[in-house]
Amino acid sequence: MNGEMEMTQQPMKVRELGMIIGTLPTGVNNCITDVAGVQVGHVTLDKPMPDGEYIATGVTAILPHSGNLFREKVAAASYVINGFGKTTGLIQLDELGMLESPIMLTNTFSVPAVTQGALRWMLGQTPEIGDTTGTLNVVTGECNDGRLNSIRLLAVTEEHARQAIDAASAAPAAEGAVGAGKGMICFGYKGGIGSASRRIELETETFTLGCLVLSNFGRREDFAADRYCRGEKTSMNDLPEPADGSIMIILATDAPLDSRQLKRIAKRAGAGLACTGSHYSNGSGDIVIVFSTAHRFAHQSEVPDEQVRVLRDEHPVMNTLFQAAAEVTEEAILNSLSQSEETTGRNGLTVVPAPLLPCSM
């Protein structure tokens, strides 16, 4: 098995193919790590096994900042577009509006191990958790990579989760068939990790909104090929009958927003998802998690109140943030396709990249 695979640059983002999604300007690297402080780390597992089995899976960790995440929480929310998914931590995240752990992504059967690994990492960082103060709410999401990955082998361990967190950096995140995205399939093509960002201007300041997706959804005939200057749609005859699939969408921003406003932002990610051709299938877990780095909330305080700046809902900047959420989601999905590589998995199944051709728009 390979350990952490960290790459600072990835070729062939869709903008390099001449494909411009939306009208807002991108961040410096068109990546979720354009939001200051946000870090991403991957561990990728890629190993053939006896009798046609194959380990093609991994872990991805998203950290909202480089400090102690439990002692310095950030505002957060989630939105379930379609709830056929297995996650941890979303109930408390929505109830309190706070994120206090890394956001962990992996395959369906590895949620327990990854959650446990992130928990042990946090306990090592913060000895007071569960002793002199409260317990910890670890947030983990998943998609089912069982067509390429021998998911029943339970290859992902607690240690892989800890390694992904330790590998996290503010460099442009590796995309495609890496980390949790190693075994994912999107629209019948190789999917996985994709990212994008937008800048939002407000008078004398600029905000950034970034997205990272784990794409594993859609039938090939659903892909909005014409929208992206694609060639002919090909049949699914070369793939086993697909599951409905899933997507995890992680949004990060430095705009000052509370948890209620963040949930409104999260809902707009569905617009970008739909643009690609998704109709939120019955068995698809389509889940959005969003956080703001604008303010850190101390776990303990001697004062009874908190003074926090938030944007006004009726200000035009909110509509621009809504637009940005749709744009980054759509582009991150396309980047997960354009950044992927031909991948062979269990029983010799090979999944090829989407035929994304240079175009002018």
Q: Which residues contact 91 (CB under 8 A, 6 or more apart)?
A: none
Please pick, among 150, 195, 281, 284, the residue that the annotation labels catalytic: 284
Average pLDDT, the chain: 92
Q: Write the CATH number of the domain with boundaries 14-300+311-340.
A: 3.60.70.12
| pLDDT at position 355 | 85
Mean pLDDT along residues 294-317: 95
Instruction: Return the closest-CA partner of residue 166 out of 282, 55, 63, 287.
Output: 63
Catalytic residue (one of 246, 292, 336, 340): 246
Told to judge if 235 belongs to the known catalytic residues of this protein, a careful annotator would answer no
Rg (CA), the chain: 19
Beta-carbon contacts of 281 under 8 Å, excluding residues fewer than 6 positions away, are: 82, 217, 218, 244, 245
Which residue in the list 286, 292, 336, 340 is annotated as catalytic? 286
- Sequence ranges of the domains in the chain: 14-300+311-340
| pLDDT for residue 11 is more than 70 | no
Average pLDDT over residues 271-296: 96
pLDDT at 297 over 60: yes
**DSSP class per residue in 112-168:** HHHHHHHHHHHHHH-TTTTTTS-----EEEEE--TTTS-GGG----HHHHHHHHHH-
How would you class 312 by CB atoms within 10 Å of its CB: exposed for 0-12, middle for 13-18, buried for 19 or more? exposed
- pLDDT, tens digit (0-9, with 9 covering 90-100), for 58-84: 999 999 999 999 999 999 999 999 999
In b/e form, how buried is each residue of 184-210, taking b as 16+ CB within 10 angstroms? Answer: bbbbbbbbbbbbbbbbbeeeeeebbbb
Cβ proximity of 30 and 17 under 8 Å: no
- Kindly tell me if the per-residue pLDDT of 183 is higher than 60: yes
What pLDDT does 12 receive?
Answer: 80
Residue 246 is among the residues annotated as catalytic for this protein:
yes
Tokens 């990579």 belong to: 145
